[in-house]
Amino acid sequence: MAQKPTENRLWGGRFTGKSDPLMDLYNASLPYDKIMYEADLTGTKVYTQGLNKLGLINDEELAEIHRGLEEIKKEWASDSFVEKPGDEDIHTANERRLGEIIGKHIAGKVHTGRSRNDQVATDMRIYVRENLTKLLELVANFVTTILKRAEQEIDVLMPGYTHLQRAQPIRWSHWLSMYATYFTEDYKRLKQILERVNQSPLGSGALAGHPYGIDREFLAEGLGFEAPIGNSLAAVSDRDFVVETLFWSTLFMNHISRFSEDLIIYSTAEFGFVQLADAYSTGSSLMPQKKNPDSLELLRGKSGRVYGSLSGFLMSIKSIPSTYNKDMQEDKEPLFDALTTVEHSVLIATGVISTLAINKEKMEGALTMDMLATDLADYLVRKGVPFRETHHISGECVKTAEDLKVSGIDKLTLEQFQKIDARFGEDVKDVFDFEVSVERRDATGGTAKSAVLKQLANLASKLQ
């Protein structure tokens, strides 16, 4: 007489002994993969339509299965779904519940020719596709918010920095356009990843393919995929789409972190260029005068969390053999956490930049005449002097101003300029104008108003 299988597991027929309770806990993924309940139910709905086409499920059974799936969906949506011991994952839980609603005889046909290997891969691709599509919209809105601000504040000048030292005058909008460029590239990369995510593993079975000749193109189309994955072994074992999503999230959060760091610096009393809205700041428990940029610090800090998700998962899959291995269950928690972190980060960053106040006087007051030293060199270049020579001459002018303890190189007299180089003329004084300096840089990508406006228009066109 056959022994009673281990509880009510999908794989229980081979096993008669009870599992170690700790192993049950260690093995279970329902606590975190139940977030994919809708993707799992949708996959089952379309898969059973495919079985119906093969005659393995009749029309009445199909209707009953779909009725049960809809009821399960309502239970998850209303938070009334009752989880039970033995529900290892979302697939097991849904199939168990379907048997309770419509009877085990009909529910038992749902898994015909299907493995949890292709089922989980399908669920994850559906879930990732939905989340990346949502992120695509959020990133586009974020960039649009930056571009609108840049257009409105196009006339504001500020120092541009290298090595965190004042370098040359730029437009505040040019700085905004820089980050809009980074984030637009992120947007474009995200669209490319979505194309690779949108391939269907369903109908690949455990690894070797479908034994009943199911129409995989029909399944792919029904689930909104571009096409089925062409190799069943790859279909069940591929997690490159998870890695790419984590890579994208990491790079995006790197850009968010740099964006945040700049604004944190600019918001200090020492700079005073920007002030965060109260909605994105906190105070000190001890010092009542403090206004801390916690939103930006959290954005900067959470980038490390996403980096960790990527590096951790890469280590999990770096040497697993083909095809499906249980190591791959480690894909879900880092993926889900990264997607949630990025989504929240985009929303917070959009809120910060849309409510930020700038201090035009502080920005322009931070401009100093030594930042026009390159313009002084360019002045002589226009008179035919080689740049390497003019660079040295301009440096001498800066040193002379320092030695004479005057407030800037613009305070040197014509006589003092000509003592350094006789080719300086009366028009040298025209160099010392920040607006003129900025407007000279009108080549593509430059900081002149016309160049910045072109940048903004070009970036906006890429979001269409």
At residue 334, the 3 state secondary structure works out as: helix
Instruction: Check: CB of residue 214 under 8 Å from CB of residue 50.
Output: yes
- Range 96-105, long-range pairs (CB < 8 A, 24+ positions): 96/8, 97/68, 97/72, 98/65, 98/68, 98/69, 98/72, 101/67, 101/68, 101/71, 101/72, 102/64, 102/65, 102/67, 102/68
Which helix (H) or strand (E) segment holds residue 267: the answer is: none
Q: 173 an active-site residue?
A: no
Structure token digits, residue 330? 């480690």
> What is the C-alpha separation between 172 and 358, in angstroms, rounded?
10
Q: What is the DSSP string of 15-77?
A: --SPPPHHHHHHH--HHHHGGGHHHHHHHHHHHHHHHHHHTSS-HHHHHHHHHHHHHHHHHHH
Residue in this structure with the two tokens 């990264």, named with its chain if needed: 338
Give the relative orientation of helices 240-266 and 172-197 as an angle to the nearest 10 degrees.
170
pLDDT at 370: 93
User: Residue 288: what pLDDT?
Assistant: 62
Residue 13 pLDDT = 55
Taking alpha carbons only, the member of 239, 293, 289 closest to residue 268 is 293
Query: 271: which 2 tokens?
Result: 């700079």
Domains contained in the chain, CATH given: 18-107 (1.10.275.10), 116-155+170-211+231-365 (1.20.200.10), 369-432 (1.10.40.30)
Catalytically annotated residue among 80, 163, 285, 461: 163
**Integer Cα distance of 432 and 392 in angstroms:** 18
Q: How confident is the model at residue 112, as a pLDDT?
A: 97
Task: Select from 36, 126, 18 the least CA-distant residue to 76.
Answer: 36
- Packing angle of the helix pair 332-355, 294-317 (nearest 10 deg): 160
Predicted pLDDT of residue 28: 83
Catalytic (active site) residue 163: yes
Angle subtended by helix axes 240-266 and 294-317, to nearest 10: 160
CA distances from 212 to 113, 205, 216, 274 (A): 7, 10, 11, 65
Looking at residue 256, its amino acid is I
Amino acid at 220: A
> What are the mean pLDDT values of the chain's consecutive 10-residue runs (464 residues total)?
48 58 81 96 98 98 98 98 94 97 97 96 98 98 98 98 96 98 98 97 97 97 98 97 98 98 96 95 69 94 97 95 93 97 98 97 96 95 93 94 92 95 94 97 98 98 92
Q: Is the pTM of the predicted complex or chain greater than 0.85?
A: yes
pLDDT digits (tens, 9 = 90+) for 46-55: 999 999 999 9
Instruction: Decide: helix, strand or coil at residue 274.
Output: strand
